[in-house]
Amino acid sequence: MPTARIRLSSIDPKQLNEIVSQIKEIADKTKVKYSGPIPFPTKRLKIPLRTSPDGRGRELYETWEMRVHKRVMDLDIDERALRLIMRIPMPKDVNVEIEIIE
């Protein structure tokens, strides 16, 4: 049976977990089998910046970091469930990819 793989990524893990819980509720209501969410390792993007604007004096650096959290869920394909998932209001920080796997 074909399944839908949903990949979620976000900077804020709280928003990501809220979306995952909404998807779980929809799957339970429509009685669709699902697996996940499977958490992927957090990707850390670090950028060192020199604090001195002119390049003279001591070398002082600040390090900025952005963390990207990812989750993956698999759902059996049900047209009603996918429509409900597509209607979930997504925050602008959450990226969603839905892929159908045979």
pLDDT value at residue 40: 92
Q: Of 70, 13, 59, 10, whose CA–CA distance to 37 is shortest?
A: 70
pLDDT value at residue 42: 92
What is the domain count for the chain? 1
Region 10-37: what's the mean pLDDT? 91
Residue 46 has pLDDT above 90, yes or no: yes
Q: C-alpha dihedral over 61, 66, 67, 70, to 10 degrees? A: -150
- Per residue in 69-81, pLDDT (tens digit) is 999 999 988 888 8
Q: What is the pTM of this model?
A: 0.78
* Domain region containing 70: 12-93
- Secondary structure (3-state) at 102: coil
Residue 52 lies in a domain: yes
Q: How far apart are CA 5 and CA 102, in angstroms?
A: 10
Residue 9 has pLDDT above 90, yes or no: yes
Residue 49 has pLDDT above 90, yes or no: no
Residue 101 lies in a domain: no
